[in-house]
Amino acid sequence: MKKLWLSLLGVAAAIGLATAAVPSATTQAADNSKTLKVGMEANYAPFNWTQNDASNGAVKIEGASGYANGYDVQMAKKMAKALGKKVVIVKMSWNGLQPALTSGKIDAIIAGMSPTAERRKAIDFTDTYYKSKLTIVVRKDSKWAKKTNINQFKNAKITAQLNTFHYEAISQLKGAIKESAMDDFPAMRVALESGVIDGYVSEVPEGITAKDANPNLTYLKFSNANGFKTNPEDTDLAIGVRKNSSLKAPMNEALSKISQKQRDTLMNNAVANQPSTTSTGNWLVNLLKQYGGMLLQGTGMTLLISLIGTIVGFLIGLLVGIIRTIPRPQTAGKRGLRAVINWLLAVYIEVFRGTPMIVQAAVLYYGAAQAFGINMDRTVAALVIVSINTGAYISEIIRGGITSVDAGQFEAAHALGFTHLQTMLKVILPQAIRNSLPAVTNEFIVNIKDTSVLSVISVSELFFSAETIAGQNFQFFHTYLVVSAIYLIMTFTISRLFRLVERHMAGPKNYNVMNNQMQVVTPKIG
Amino acid sequence: MTEPIIEVQNLKKVFGDHEVLTDINLTVNAGEIVSIIGRSGSGKSTLLRNINLLEQPTSGDILFHGNSVLAPDFDITHYRAKAGMVFQSFNLFNNLTVLENVVTPQVTVLKRDPAEAKQHALELLNTVNMDPFINAKPDQLSGGQKQRVAIARAEAMDPEVLLFDEPTSALDPEMVDDVLAAMSNLAHTGLTMIIVTHEMAFARDISDRVVFMNDGVIAEEGTPEQIFNAPHEEVTQAFLKRYLNRA
């Protein structure tokens, strides 16, 4: 048992070191820093996408394995050059962009974002850097492919991306059925191809991309009179910056020097350079060859977060277990202190068990930055959230384990003069841990799967990698099939490993005292 | 050797509305062996558990070498190490082997050197004939074997007082003798023993003094001869009747 405690201590120390070794929290992106941190989805070709190498002027994505490229990336490079700064591309989900900007995690949003009045309430925008036009992407073989007027979409099932003016523009399609908004374009393309929807509202460059990527799709060209009535504020794409940012003026000046012709060239290059999705040969081999590294890295990240999260959560659980079983002290002051601590622990457990981890992650990562200016590393935030969250669950699991230990064990230890801590460490916890091991295994497995929600703070774990890959190759089924196999291999291995540990802790089963008394070796005395 | 080691003064213990100990006064001298007998529910075990502070007295006092164990600055941990306890249900540590059960408390509480503690443990396990089982887990032992290990565990702390809480009540009849023999070996070695028991013959043979408890008070106390052969009180006579008739 001593060995177990030593190894637990060792693990704890290792975690401490690992946490210290993780690059310290990124410094608050300031207007006067040497870098220009630009946020984008890197999943919205031809404006921005993720690729595996630095070809065609792509830029390395901060804190991840891939490179970003596209119209937005090229524009970001031009802006950085004009400002005399180094460009840094930060990949994050669409809904994470605005909070990341206001909380100072990035300096600018160049992500095909339109300066709507609503957004202007929270952030500032530069002048237009691209002017686009709305279109509808449909299946080539459907009757909608021949429409030339937006009034011809009676009973068509139409959707668009969540939180965009595209979605509001669906109301202009008379008689069309407005489906629920979707998260990203790859998902809409799949929905369209599978017939869940008849079309989605998008902008022309995205339409061109969709058509190139998938020969079954096409986009519609409307004349100005028959097309969508749009607000320039919407179709104009602008660079988002913080309110009153000193970056706005120099950026506007730089933009004014980029002619319409240059912009068209940039867009044409982007459309031409975007990742091709056609492939030949075995899909699995291709997938692994092209994205094996990304999958491996995602798997590693998932394992790291869930392993450390479970171990730290386990230690938290033990600590809470020790504290909550402290016997009622004699003096009123200590009794009061104990009551306060127990109440705090109960609040901790209820809060972290009672709210979704995805919400906790968003609150910690964005909230801490926005409210207190604390800017923490994504991976650190992920480790903290998973650990604290797991700790809340394991505290209750350990409590159950402690309750199931016979009261006589406590009494014997106390009667021998053990302190509470000694009683817990030497006698109670070893038994409680054994009782709770199956439930702890469960927590570990849940963690492996639940780290997928951390994509909300752009942690590049396995699910986030899968989303990125599927967004590039459009092979949703194949990609997610491979990823589910990886998840299954991880969880299955872990459940087997823990079964072995359990068996080891239970001790040998074939030790029959009554029959082999004489075979037990008696050490010599003296 | 008439120096008092444990003095119980006006001890009262209440569980909710139920008064288990009404007013207990008992002085035990160093080296003395005192047996406490009485009906189930008369408060014998509760008295023992109060002496060891496993239960907190409602009122009254308990003195150890003349010092109140209830005083705020009293070193309870040290006191418990000096006043060992043997339980009816053995309470061996299930996660530890027989040897570890005897070694760990010495190392943890008395800060004894592990090698020395092991040596001590092996000697004591030898005297209770449990040395062939040092690597067994408690689950693999019979009740009598467990109780003998528990006695060795309590002894290993070099206590001044040992409290026995019905040590043979949970045992099969054929196991009882081994345990009683182990206890007899301890008697009159200078160790003070307070034994709650239903083994009347044993109590008569081993004790210097016998205490009869009834309804939360000490109804009668005296030498074994006096209590077993010529009890004064009616309740004592009634309780011992069955036993006396049989003997």
Q: Total structural domains in chain A?
A: 3
A461-481, pLDDT tens digit by residue? Answer: 899 888 888 877 777 888 899
Q: What's the pLDDT score for residue A308? A: 95
Does A322 share its domain with A175?
A: no
pTM over 0.90: no
The answer to whether A331 contacts B72, with C-beta atoms less than 8 Å apart, is yes
Does A322 share its domain with A365?
A: yes
Distance CA B175, CA B170 (A): 10
Q: Assess contact for A221 and A207: CB atoms under 8 A.
A: no
| Domain assignment present for A16 | no
Say if A516 is an interface residue toward chain B (CB within 8 Å).
no
Question: Domain containing A441 — which CATH number?
Answer: 1.10.3720.10
Say if B131 is an interface residue toward chain A (CB within 8 Å).
yes
Does A193 share its domain with A324?
A: no
The mean pLDDT value for B119-138 works out to 93
| Domain assignment present for A442 | yes
Distance CA B242, CA A162 (A): 88
Q: Which residues contact A38 (CB under 8 A, 6 or more apart)?
A: A72, A76, A79, A80, A87, A88, A89, A90, A106, A107, A108, A109, A110
Residue A291: pLDDT band with limits 50, 70, 90: confident
Does A338 share its domain with A467?
A: yes
A94-151, pLDDT tens digit by residue? Answer: 888 998 898 888 999 999 898 888 899 999 999 999 887 889 999 999 999 988 888 8
Does A306 share its domain with A404?
A: yes
- What's the gap in Å between the CA of A517 and the closest CA on chain B? 6
Does A229 share its domain with A241?
A: no
C-alpha pair distances (Å), A408 with each of A422, B54, B80, B188: 15, 11, 16, 29
Nearest to residue B53, comparing CAs of B29, B77, B26?
A: B77
Sheet order of strands, B161-165 included = B83-86, B161-165, B192-196, B33-38, B209-214, B217-222
Q: Supply the mean pLDDT for chain A.
A: 84
Q: Which residues contact B75 (CB under 8 A, 6 or more apart)?
A: none
B17-49, pLDDT tens digit by residue? Answer: 899 999 999 999 999 999 999 998 899 999 999
| DSSP assignment letter at A329 | P
Q: Assess contact for A66 and A294: CB atoms under 8 A.
A: yes
Say if A435 is an interface residue toward chain B (CB within 8 Å).
no
The answer to whether A414 contacts B95, with C-beta atoms less than 8 Å apart, is no
- Buried-exposed string A355-384: b where 16+ CB fall within 10 A, e elsewhere: eebbebbbebbbebbbeeeebbbbbbbbbb
Q: Which of A217, A249, A273 is the last residue of a domain?
A: A273
A233-272, pLDDT tens digit by residue? Answer: 778 889 999 998 899 999 999 999 998 888 888 888 888 8
Q: What's the pLDDT score for residue A332? A: 84
Half-sphere exposure of A396 (CA within 13 A, CB side): 13
* A and B: number of Cβ contacts within 8 A: 92
Say if A515 is an interface residue toward chain B (CB within 8 Å).
no
| DSSP string computed for A163-212 | TSHHHHHGGGSTT-EEPPPBS-HHHHHHHHHTTS-SEEEEEHHHHHHHHH
Q: Which of A273, A296, A329 is the last residue of a domain?
A: A273
Q: Identify any residues that bridge with B21 across adjacent strands, giving them in sequence order.
A: B13
The residue segments making up the domain with residue A181 are: 134-234
| DSSP string computed for B184-204 | HHHTTSS-EEEEE-S-HHHHH
Does A370 share its domain with A458?
A: yes
Distance CA A466, CA B33 (A): 76
| Domain assignment present for A521 | no
Does A329 share its domain with A451?
A: yes
Residue A221: pLDDT band with limits 50, 70, 90: confident
| Domain assignment present for A2 | no
Say if A520 is an interface residue toward chain B (CB within 8 Å).
yes
- Does residue A498 have a pLDDT over 80? yes
Q: Which residue in chain B is spatially nearest to A434 when comparing CA positions?
A: B95
Does A440 share its domain with A459?
A: yes
Residue with tokens 């050059």: A81
Question: Domain containing A93 — which CATH number?
Answer: 3.40.190.10
Does A386 share its domain with A454?
A: yes
Which 3 state secondary structure label does DSSP give A327?
coil
The answer to whether A1 contacts B96, with C-beta atoms less than 8 Å apart, is yes
A49-76, pLDDT tens digit by residue? Answer: 888 888 888 999 987 778 999 999 999 9
Does A403 share its domain with A495?
A: yes
- What's the gap in Å between the CA of B155 and the closest CA on chain A? 10
Chain B partners within 8 Å of A413 (Cβ):
93
Does A35 share its domain with A164?
A: no
The answer to whether A520 contacts B105, with C-beta atoms less than 8 Å apart, is no
- What's the gap in Å between the CA of B68 and the closest CA on chain A? 15
| Domain assignment present for A9 | no
For residue A432, what are its two tokens?
């409680």
Say if A427 is an interface residue toward chain B (CB within 8 Å).
yes
Stronger pLDDT, A215 or A13, i.e. the higher one: A215
| Domain assignment present for A414 | yes
The mean pLDDT value for B68-84 works out to 91
